[in-house]
Each structure stands twice: as structure tokens, then as C-alpha cells.
């Protein structure tokens, strides 16, 4: 098996595993994505992971499939996007079919209901832990901290404002770094005169 096919198989298996064992989807998948692609394989940096999450959160559709396609494309272009998306979709299809068959007998069971409540607590802790690690690696300036805190407070009080927070952060970054670039002195040319 060549390297390209090995990457495609790895993408499929990773997204299948994440989809199979992550209850809640969306942000609940973030810790596993980070572990598989940043820590184990060094295919993506934390900064790239943050960019991917921001992008897929702001696009229409299911975040889990969007992020799978985005990561897959980043790693193995179009074939990677298709394989990763299939890997992310299949567990849900299998589980939904299984749930449809046993729903009445299983999900009315008090033990199952309590078990899922426990799983939800663990997922919340996993999301917080992954978020803290990514914050340490991506927020490296006062500007970044101000934008992150402002966006966090905004989304905390209005969960429907995610897209607006992303747009506002992008605008703030464009303005801030645009002004910062203008403040830099122009490099000198060989004759010692300021460059154009």
C-alpha cells in the first residue's frame, strides 16, 4: 500500500472512529480531532485546527461532516475530503438504524438514561480540556486575547451569534493587522533609500 492510499485509509478509519465514539457531534469531536491529527500524526497544527473549526462553524450544514471534508481536503485533496466525509457519516447511519430497531426497549431504560448523563459530563470536560490546550497554542498576543474573550462573552450570552462573532473577529483582525503593517518602516534598498 502506497503512502497516498495509507493516508486515505487512515482518514477513513479516524473519522469513522471519531463518529462512532463521539456522542453529541460538533465540538465534542474537537478533542479527538486534535489528538489524532495534531498530536499523533502532526498533520495539522493547533492554529490550523482553530481555522478549520471557525470555518466549519460558519458554513451551512452539519459541523462534523464539514470539518471531516475540510480536514480530508487539507490532507489529501478531493479524495481525502470524500473519504473523510464518508468515514464521518457511516457511524451515524449505522447507529441511527440500530437505535430505530431497539429504541423503545433501550432508551426507556433508566440505567441507559443515567449512563448518557454521565457521558455528557465527560464530553463537556473533554471539550474544555482541548479548548484550553488550543488557547495556549493560538492566543499569543493581547489583541488575540481581547478578540477571544470578547467573542466568548458574546457567544455565551447569545448562542445564535457564532457567525456574527466570527465575521466581527475577521474584520477586527483585518483592520488591526492592516494598520500594524502600515506602521512598519519600509525596507531600505541597496542605495540606502526607502523602498516604495
Does the structure show a pLDDT above 70 at 183?
A: no
Check whether residue 146 and residue 104 sit in a common domain.
no
pLDDT band at 13 (very low <50, low <70, confident <90, very high): very high
Check whether residue 72 and residue 16 sit in a common domain.
yes
Dihedral of alpha carbons 53, 82, 21, 34, sign: negative
* Mean pLDDT, rounded, for 5-12: 87
Does the structure show a pLDDT above 70 at 90?
A: yes
Q: What cell was used for 4?
A: 497516498
Q: How many Cα atoms occupy the beta-carbon half-sphere of 195 within 13 Å?
A: 7
Number of domains in the chain: 2
Check whether residue 78 and residue 21 sit in a common domain.
yes
Determine the distance from the C-alpha atom of residue 43 to the mean position of all C-alpha atoms in its chain, rounded to a whole number.
14
In whole angstroms, how large is the CA radius of gyration of the chain? 21
Does the structure show a pLDDT above 90 at 59?
A: no
Check whether residue 88 and residue 49 sit in a common domain.
yes
Higher-confidence residue of 25 and 189: namely 25
Measured between alpha carbons, how far is 39 from 45 in angstroms, rounded to an integer?
9
Check whether residue 64 and residue 14 sit in a common domain.
yes
Instruction: Note whether residue 190 is domain-resident.
Output: no
Predicted confidence (pLDDT) per residue in 102-144, tens digit: 766 676 778 877 887 888 888 788 778 877 877 877 788 899 8
Does the structure show a pLDDT above 60 at 193?
A: no
Check whether residue 39 and residue 100 sit in a common domain.
yes
Check whether residue 82 and residue 26 sit in a common domain.
yes
Check whether residue 104 and residue 146 sit in a common domain.
no
Measured between alpha carbons, how far is 136 from 156 in angstroms, rounded to an integer?
20
Range of the structural domain that residue 7 is part of? 3-126
* Mean pLDDT, rounded, for 72-96: 90
pTM metric for this prediction: 0.58
Check whether residue 75 and residue 164 sit in a common domain.
no
Residue 39 DSSP class: I
Smallest Cα–Cα separation from 31: which of 58, 78, 67? Answer: 67
Amino acid at each position: 500500500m502506497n503512502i497516498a492510499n495509507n493516508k486515505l485509509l487512515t482518514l477513513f478509519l479516524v473519522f469513522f472512529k471519531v463518529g462512532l465514539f463521539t456522542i453529541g457531534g460538533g465540538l465534542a469531536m474537537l478533542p479527538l480531532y486534535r489528538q489524532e491529527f495534531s498530536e499523533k500524526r502532526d498533520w495539522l497544527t493547533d492554529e490550523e485546527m482553530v481555522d478549520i473549526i471557525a470555518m466549519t462553524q460558519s458554513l451551512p450544514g452539519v459541523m462534523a461532516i464539514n470539518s471531516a471534508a475540510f480536514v480530508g481536503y487539507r490532507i489529501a485533496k478531493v479524495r481525502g475530503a470524500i473519504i473523510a466525509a464518508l468515514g464521518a457519516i457511516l457511524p451515524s447511519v449505522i447507529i441511527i438504524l440500530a437505535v430505530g430497531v431497539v429504541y423503545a426497549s433501550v432508551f426507556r431504560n433508566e440505567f441507559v438514561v443515567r449512563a448518557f448523563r454521565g457521558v455528557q459530563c465527560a464530553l463537556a470536560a473533554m471539550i474544555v480540556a482541548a479548548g484550553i490546550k488550543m488557547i495556549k497554542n493560538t492566543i499569543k498576543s493581547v489583541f488575540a486575547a481581547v478578540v477571544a474573550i470578547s467573542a466568548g462573552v458574546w457567544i455565551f450570552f447569545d448562542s445564535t451569534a457564532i457567525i456574527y462573532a466570527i465575521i466581527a473577529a475577521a474584520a477586527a483582525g483585518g483592520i488591526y493587522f492592516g494598520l500594524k503593517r502600515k506602521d512598519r518602516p519600509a525596507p531600505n534598498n541597496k542605495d540606502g533609500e526607502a523602498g516604495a
